[in-house]
């Protein structure tokens, strides 16, 4: 048995991330479903659909639910799924996070959740314009 992955996002986000990570890794090592929430959609039917996905993905070890924007409708639906006790929920899904999740497919739900957070945050780096210009001047 393994952990299931449920992406609940705005239209195009989850399917694009899933497509990209599958191309990078060559396969999707965990059972995964994607629910994309259209703008202005009724929440209750989507919550019902998300619950069905959760049940289909949970093989006894739980489901990691990833949403895109905290506080938005997809995230609110995901948060409600956590009340079942069968899901860990993270908002702010990004490509490094999803790659990390699939690279640690054998981990338990709590560990996988923490690896997802680590992968997502460690995948973010910043370089200011001033820093880039200084580097360019040093190279010359």
Q: What is the pLDDT of residue 1?
A: 65
Cα(87)–Cα(68) distance, rounded to whole angstroms? 16
Q: What single DSSP character describes residue 89?
A: E
User: Which residue from 38, 72, 33, 39 is spatially nearest to 51, judged by alpha carbons?
Assistant: 33
Give the CA count within 13 Å in the CB-facing half-sphere of 26. Answer: 0
Q: Is 63 helix (H, G, I), strand (E, B) or coil?
A: strand
Task: Provide the residue ranges of all domains of the chain, joining segments of one domain with +.
Answer: 4-139
- Domain at 4-139: CATH code: 3.40.50.510
User: Which residue from 30, 55, 14, 44 is spatially nearest to 115, judged by alpha carbons?
Assistant: 30
Q: What single DSSP character describes residue 33?
A: E
Q: Are 8 and 35 in contact (CB under 8 A)?
A: yes
Query: pLDDT digit of tens for each residue in the chain (140 aa)?
Result: 689 999 999 999 999 999 999 999 999 999 999 999 999 999 999 999 999 999 999 999 999 999 999 999 999 999 999 988 889 999 999 999 999 999 999 999 999 999 999 999 999 888 888 887 887 778 76
pTM: 0.90
State the residue for tokens 């957070």: 117
């Amino acid at each position: 048995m393994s952990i299931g992955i449920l992406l609940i996002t705005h239209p195009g986000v989850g399917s694009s991330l899933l497509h990209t990570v599958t191309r990078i890794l060559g396969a999707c090592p965990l059972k995964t479903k994607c629910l994309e929430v259209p703008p202005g959609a009724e929440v209750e039917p989507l919550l019902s659909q998300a619950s069905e996905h959760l049940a289909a993905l949970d093989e006894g070890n739980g489901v990691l639910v990833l949403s895109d924007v905290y506080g938005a409708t997809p995230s609110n639906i995901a948060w409600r799924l956590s009340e079942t006790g069968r899901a860990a929920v993270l908002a702010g899904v990004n490509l490094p996070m999803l790659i990390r999740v699939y690279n640690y497919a054998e981990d338990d739900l709590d560990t996988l959740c923490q690896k997802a957070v680590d992968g997502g945050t460690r995948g973010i780096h910043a370089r200011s314009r001033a820093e880039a210009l200084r580097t360019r001047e040093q190279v010359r």
